[in-house]
Structure 1
Amino acid sequence: MSVLEQTVTVGLLFSTTGAYAALGREGLAGAQLAVQALNASGTLPFRILAEHRDPHGITERYAGMAAEIIATGARHIIGCTTSWSRKEVIPVLEKHDATLWYPCPYEGFECNEQVVYLGACPNQHILPLLQHILPRFGNNGYLVGSNYIWGWETNRIARDIIEQSGGSVAGERYAPLGDADLGHILRDIRLKRPDFVLNTLIGPSSYSFLEAYHALGEADPDFSMEKRPVVSCNLAEGEAALLGHKAAGLYTIAPYFQALRTSANQHFLGQLDATSQPVSAFFAQAYSAVQLLVAGLLAAETEDGRSVLASLNQATPSTPLGPLQIMAANNHAVLTPHIARVTASGALAIIEQRDEPIAPEPYLAHTSLVVSAADRVRAGSNLRVVK
């Protein structure tokens, strides 16, 4: 017999201001839209009540606000954008036996039973991205990132991939969150002339860097995106649209793009109005988090996190990303990453769409980081080039 109440409270924990506000707003909008759609569907035996808290990008506020949400009766929270904020929340989740549905890509090397990881982990983002980039541009890279966990760890993994594949890292530089004064980094890149630049900056820092790199390419054609591209694991549609032609040519990777040619995505986009555009992986994964949570609640007939997850380990609910499975061994989603480039108009055009999903391997314990000729053939075997 179901022990669900007539109203199920779900927490939303996203910052709408601060250094990564654009991504937080997309995540919040995606989750809220899913809640509205499910409540309006008339198919649920309960109503979803969303309790939102906004830490305004201040990491120290996340734990307290997570506790506030749990005090309203919520057993599940969807949100957090940075790994820093996620790690702040985990002790609160453990104390109250609550579950966080984390909808963003992250750097891996974590597996907590109170967290469901719906964003890509390293073998689903940085590895397949560099498998695409190294054979096309060379294996001499430059690493630039925001000075916190995402930048440090993603660049560390990238360094391992590059060096184990016979390449070298020309430079590695970091900027404080939100810092837009990056001229010294551009001067160093111009001096060292890498084959490509991996950008793990976020928010205004990333936008400033890409604008400056575009200006460098105009001043010196040797730094055009066609010759020495910038690549990213986290640039989203809204950001590309904001930058327009100044980010044209950048390569990025994600399990969802608005341009994805699948029946699941076409159905999803058909439900949205014009004000919801452009749609990014941050939006779609937060939307999917609500769908997965509700599917688990219906199957388990309880809000208990372990029971909800156990029901999803055996099921593959339909989402904008397609059917999603959560691996029982590590609470991470099985995802299918695709590669896109920014066009001159600021759109993200898919250039390689993968058909087969990649099982999550957050600790990379059984994953080869060597991009060899054989690996490139295998990596390309499940991809189709989208003209």
Structure 2
Amino acid sequence: MLPIVEQNNGLLWYPVQYEGMESSPNIFYMGSAPNQQIVPAVDWLLKNKGKKMFLVGSDYVFPRTANKIIKAQLKAEGGQVVGEEYTPMGYTDYSTIINKIKASKPDEIFNTLNGDSNVAFFKQLKSAGITAQQIPVLSVSIAEEEVKGIGADNMKGQYVSWNYYQTTDTQQNKKFVADYKAKYGNDKVTDDPIEAGYNAVYLWAKAVEKAKSTDVDKVKTAAKGLEFDAPEGKVKINGDNQHLWKIVRIGQVQDNGLINEVWSSGKTISPDPYLKTYKWAKGLN
């Protein structure tokens, strides 16, 4: 999609976290860069859960790139990869990988599986008797909506890394959640990509108002440095790479399927899509 957007000088306001190592002049990145999700998640695991990590992911660009980042970070920070496995999208038989997890005895699992594979993985992990207390799993592609599909009973106690949760304690979020449920139903949940999509609409509108035009080049210029009081807290567009300054939050899945924050960066983190500020990341891109 990126070449088409660039070829036509369009604008894509992208609402999901991604693996980094790119920055297009025609994309505004509303989700986290790797230093706003993956890197702090690894830091948190090393400090709180242990040094031995098992990597499991779907076989496409995001997990492959994420795990390159993780391996470089672990090498620099005294961690150890005790296993690394990839499966095709939609894969459902994790018995062999779970046996490898048991044999390698990791302190934690870093999960970059996507889609329905997560349903199978967490159900089979539970059936194998591996609990969040024994070997915690931290995921970066599972938010509240995915927890509903996997089942809270299969994910209770497991961890995720995002910038926003339905439970995020801001005045803006209380209104956002109430309005969302009023519109779509009380049984619906918000999550990070939903909130990022919401932020995109308002930031684009602010840029258009400032530019007094919907012309792409004028909107891009006007968007530099714009701020918005988002449900997650104040976000700001970095004019150099069109990513957002964002707070990082580690969350834990609860009995009711919602995610409670267990750690926060406490302040917004500057987006660093190429990880230029990390010595250990040199050469990754």
TM-score normalised per structure 1: 0.69
The corresponding residue for 1:225 is 132
Query: Quick check: 2:225–2:238 contact (8 Å CA) kept in 1?
Result: no
Structure 2 spans left out of the alignment, 5+ residues: none
* 2:108 alignment partner in structure 1: 196
Checking the alignment, whether the CA contact within 8 Å between 2:147 and 2:257 is kept in structure 1 is yes
Whether 1:136 and 2:48 are equivalent positions in the alignment is yes
CA distance in 2, matches of 1:97, 1:320: 30
Matching residue within 317, 322, 335 for 2:233: 322
Of 308-317 and 132-141, deviating more is 308-317
- How far 1:368 moved relative to its partner? 5.0
Q: Distance in 1 between matches of 2:22 and 2:8?
A: 20
Q: Secondary structure at the match of 2:125?
A: helix
Distance 1:347 1:266 in 2: 15
The structure having more radius of gyration, on CA atoms, is 1
1:238, 1:358 → 2: CA distance?
25
Q: Distance in 2 between matches of 1:306 and 1:254?
A: 30
Distance 2:114 2:246 in 1: 22
Give, in angstroms, the shift of residue 269 of structure 1.
1.8
1:230 and 1:273 map into 2 onto residues whose CA distance is 29
Give the Cα–Cα distance (whole angstroms) in 1 for the partners of residues 239 and 70 of structure 2.
Answer: 27
SS in 2 for 1:159: helix
SS of match in other structure, 1:356: coil
Q: Please report the RMSD computed on the Cα atoms of aligned residues, expressed in angstroms.
A: 1.6
The CA distance in 2 between the partners of 1:366 and 1:355, in whole Å, is: 20
Is the CA contact (8 Å cut-off) linking 1:312 and 1:325 kept in structure 2? no
User: TM-score when scaled to structure 2?
Assistant: 0.92
Matched, 1:307 2:215: no
Q: Tell whether the 8 Å contact from 1:123 to 1:367 is kept in structure 2 after alignment.
A: no
**For the Cα contact (< 8 Å) 2:181–2:189, is it kept in 1?**
no
The alpha-carbon deviation at position 184 of structure 1 amounts to 1.4
Aligned length: 277
* Paired residue secondary structure (1:252): strand
**SS of structure 1 residue aligned to 2:128:** helix
- Residues 40-89 of structure 1 show CA distances to partners (whole Å, capped at 9, x for unaligned) of xxxxxxxxxxxxxxxxxxxxxxxxxxxxxxxxxxxxxxxxxxxxxxxxx1
> Which amino acid counterpart does residue 145 of structure 1 have in structure 2?
G
* SS of equivalent residue, structure 1 residue 143: strand
The runs of at least 4 consecutive aligned structure 1 residues that moved more than 3 Å come to none
Summarize deviations over 1:99-119 as a string: whole Å, max 9, x none.
111110001000110111111
Letter in 2 for 1:308: V
Task: Tell me the secondary structure at the aligned position of residue 273 of structure 1.
Answer: helix
* Greater relative contact order structure (CA < 8 Å, 6+ sep): 2
Letter in 2 for 1:175: T
CA distance in 2, matches of 1:369, 1:345: 39
Q: Distance in 2 between matches of 1:158 and 1:315?
A: 31
